[in-house]
A and B are shown apart, each in its own frame.
Chain A
Amino acid sequence: MSGETPHDRRDVDGRADVEIDAEDDGGLEAEEVEARVGLSYTLVQLRRDPTALAGLAIISVSTAVAIVASIDALLLDYWLTQTFWYHPELGPHADTNLPPYGVSNQYYDASRSTLAHPLGTDFRGRDVAVRLFYGTRIAITVGFTSTVIGLVGGTLTGAVAGYYGGWIDDVLMRGAEILYAIPFLILVIVIVSVLDPQRQNALLVAMVGVGIASMPTFARLIRSRVFSVREEEYVEAAKAAGVKDRWIILRHVIPNSFAPVLVQATLQIGLAILIIAGLSFLGFGAQPPQASWGQMLNKARPLLIPNPWFSIFPGLCILFTVVGFNLLGDGLRDAADPRIQN
C-alpha cells in the first residue's frame, strides 16, 4: 500500500475519474440511449404529440368532472348540484321531453326549449345535462376500477409466471388462456340474472367481470418483458445479495417491465368504459335511477324518432371519453418506443 492516507487517494481518484468522463464519448452515447427509454423522455416526447395531448385534455376534463360529482354525491349528499343545479336522479325538474335549447323538429317546438335546461329534459322531466355530468362519474369509476383489478391481478400473475418460468409459468399462463376463452359478457349477464335478480350489484359485478377478463392481456404483456428483465445483472445482483424472490419481483422486476403495461392500461380504461356502457344499455350495469350513459341510451331507444337528442348526447359522451383514452394510449405507446422517431 502507498504511504498516502485514504483521504488523499480518494480526492486524487475522484478528480481523475471526472476528467476521463469528459473525454469519454462512448459513455455519453450510452447515457443518451438510456435516457431515450426513461419515463421523463416518454413524457417529453408526449408533449410533442398534439393528438395525445388532446386525449390527455379530454381525460383530464372527464376525470375532474367525475371527481367533483363523486365528492358531491358521497360527501355532500348532492348539496352542490341541488343548490346550483338539479338533483341528477330525482325529478321532475321541468316538463318531460323538453328539446335542447333552440332545437325543434316536427314533433317539438323550439319555443318550449329553455336555457335553464340547455340539453333538454328526459321522459321524467329530469335535466339531461346534469345526468350526463353524473354519468361521467360512473364511466370514469368503472373504467379505472375494472382496469386496476385487471392491472394488479394480471401484472402479478404475469410477473410471477415470467420470473419463475417452468411449471409455475405453465400453470399460470394456461389459466390465463382458459380465462381468455370464457365469454365474459355472457358470464356477467348470467351471474347477474341468477344471483342478483334485483340487480342491486349489477354494476359491481360488471366492473369486476371486465377487470378479470382483462387480466390475461396484462399478464401476457408483462410476462414477455419479465423474461428479459429477469436475466438482467441487477436481478442477479439482488439474488446474490440475499434479497427474497418476492421482493425482487415487486421492487426490481415489475418496475422495469411496466412501460407496455401502462400503455395497455390506458387503452383498457377506454375499452372498459365502452363494454360497461354496453352492459348498462342491456340493463346489466348501472340501474335506474342512476345516471349512466349506457342506461340513458337504453331509455332513449324507444324514443329515437321523436327526440333523437336523448341518444345523441350520451353517445357523444361515450365517444369522446373512449377516444380520449385511446389517443393518449397510442401517444404513450409511440413515445415509449425509442425506435419511432417523432
Chain B
Amino acid sequence: MSTHETILEVEDLKTQFFTEEGVVRAVDGIDFDVRRGEIVGLVGESGAGKSVAVQSILRLVEEPGAIVGGEIRYKDDLLFGLKASADDPQERTEREEMLSRTEMRTQIRGREIAIIFQDPMESLNPVYTVGSQIEEFIALNREVPGDQAREIAMDTLRDVGIPEVESRYDDYPHQFSGGMRQRVLIAMALACEPDLIVADEPTTALDVTVEAQILNLVDDLQARYDTSLVWVTHDMGVVAEICDRVNVMYLGEIVEQAPADDLFHDTKHPYTSKLLASLPRPDRTVGELDSIGGVMPEAINPPSGCRFHSRCPEAREVCAEVHPDERPSAEAGSHHTVACFRDDAFDVGYWDSPPIETEASGGFAASLTAEEGESG
C-alpha cells in the first residue's frame, strides 16, 4: 500500500486566527502527506488544531482566520502556496499557479476531496429529504443526467448499508438514527467519487457499537472505492482500528509521525505515551485512569521550548529553552519522525540537563492529587 504515489502533501502549514486578544496559532507549521489508498490518522486532544488543519486543506478557514504560510499540494495542483513579493521582500503573495477560489470550488471541493463532518445530527439539512441532498451533490460534482444521479445515490446508499433504500430515500433526516445519518454522510462523500475523503471526527457523536459498525464499513468501502482517507480523531482506539499511518498533534504542531503499528509498540514521544496511557483498557483494572496533568496551554501564547514541556513528566531544563523540530528518529530501522529531545537525532544535551518540575511530574496539580490521596 505504501508504495503508492503521494496525492496530498502538506508542508509547513501555518493557519492563524487574528482575534482581539492576539494571534492564535492554531496550526503552526505541520508537515504530512497522504498516499493513494491509505488511511492517515490525525490525532490529538481538543484544541490541538486538527479541525483547522483539515479545513485549511480545502481552504475553508474563514475570517478572522487565514492560512499564513506553507504549501498544500494535491496531485498536480497547488491548493495553497506563497512566494516572496517582487516589490517588498517582507510581503508574501499567493503564487500564480495556486488554484483560484472558483477553481477550488468547482474542481477540488466534493469532486476531488470530500469532507465528512463530526456531527451526523447537524450535517444534513433538516428541510430536504436525504435522497435529494445526495442527488444535489452528485449533480454538482459529476456530469450525469438527473435520473442517473438518482440511481447513483440509491446505489451508494445501499453500499453504506441503509436498509430498504427505496422507501427510506424520500425520508427526512430526523427520521434517521444517528448511525444511519452517519452512513448517509459517508454515502454523500463517496457518491461524488473523490480520491481523498477527510473525516473530521465522524464517529465521536456515536455510541461505541455504532462506531464499530461505521469503522468496519469505512475500512471495507475504502478498499472497494480505493479512496484515501484523512481520519481526524482524539481516540487512539479508532486509530489502532483503521489507520495505516498516524500523525500526533499537540498545540498546532505534529509531535510524532509513524506507521500505526510502530506508534503503538514503539512510542517515542511522551505525549503519545500519555495519550495511550489515558485510554481505558478493559483488560486492566486500575483505580484511576492515568490522565495527562494540566490542560493544553492557549495557542495565543504557547510555552517556550517544547510546547509539551509544561505537562511532560520527562521534561528537563533544555526542553523549556529549545524548541524541538520534527526529525526522523535516529533509532535503526525506525519509520518514526519525532519532535522530542530524548531521541538521539537531537544533540542538545537532554540527558545532561536537570529534570524540572512540571504539572505532570510534581507541580501544583500533582501535589493536589497527592494530598487527596493522603486524606482519603
Chain A positions near chain B (C-beta within 8 angstroms): 1, 6, 9-11, 13-18, 20-21, 24, 27, 30-31, 34-35, 38, 165-166, 232-234, 236-244, 251-252, 255-256
Taking a contact as CB atoms closer than 8 A, the residue among B114, B161, B179, B223 that contacts A1 in the complex is B223
CA distance A238 to B140 in the complex (A): 11
A240 and B178 contacting across the interface, CB-CB below 8 Å = no
Chain B interface residue count: which class? 35 or more
Main SS class of interface, A: helix
CB distance from B160 to the nearest CB of A (A): 8
| 26 A–B contacts from the bound complex (CB under 8 Å) | A6-B159, A9-B161, A9-B217, A9-B220, A14-B163, A17-B161, A17-B179, A17-B180, A20-B179, A20-B209, A20-B210, A27-B178, A35-B174, A38-B126, A165-B63, A166-B63, A234-B122, A237-B188, A238-B125, A240-B60, A241-B109, A241-B137, A241-B141, A242-B106, A251-B136, A255-B127
Chain B positions near chain A (C-beta within 8 angstroms): 58, 60, 63, 105-106, 108-111, 114-115, 117-119, 121-127, 136-137, 140-141, 158-159, 161-163, 174-175, 177-180, 185, 188, 192, 207, 209-210, 213, 216-217, 219-220, 223-224
Closest B residue to A241 by beta carbon equals B110
Residues of chain B with a CB closer than 8 A to A165's CB: 63
Residues of chain B with a CB closer than 8 A to A232's CB: 122
CB distance from B218 to the nearest CB of A (A): 12
Residues of chain A with a CB closer than 8 A to B122's CB: 232-234
CA distance A24 to B141 in the complex (A): 36
CA distance A103 to B137 in the complex (A): 69
CB distance from A49 to the nearest CB of B (A): 24
Closest A residue to B223 by beta carbon equals A1
Taking a contact as CB atoms closer than 8 A, the residue among A17, A34, A238 that contacts B210 in the complex is A17
CA distance A27 to B179 in the complex (A): 10
Taking a contact as CB atoms closer than 8 A, the residue among A14, A21, A233 that contacts B119 in the complex is A233
Residues of chain B with a CB closer than 8 A to A241's CB: 109-110, 114-115, 137, 140-141, 188, 192
Given that A6-B159, A17-B179 are known contacts, is A236 also in contact with B60, CB under 8 Å in the complex? yes
Taking a contact as CB atoms closer than 8 A, the residue among B105, B179, B188 that contacts A242 in the complex is B105
Closest A residue to B137 by beta carbon equals A241
CA distance A255 to B122 in the complex (A): 15
Pick the most buried of B63, B117, B127: most chain A CB atoms within 10 A of its CB. Answer: B127
Residues of chain B with a CB closer than 8 A to A256's CB: 125-127
B140 and A13 contacting across the interface, CB-CB below 8 Å = no
A14 and B162 contacting across the interface, CB-CB below 8 Å = yes
Taking a contact as CB atoms closer than 8 A, the residue among A13, A38, A244 that contacts B217 in the complex is A13
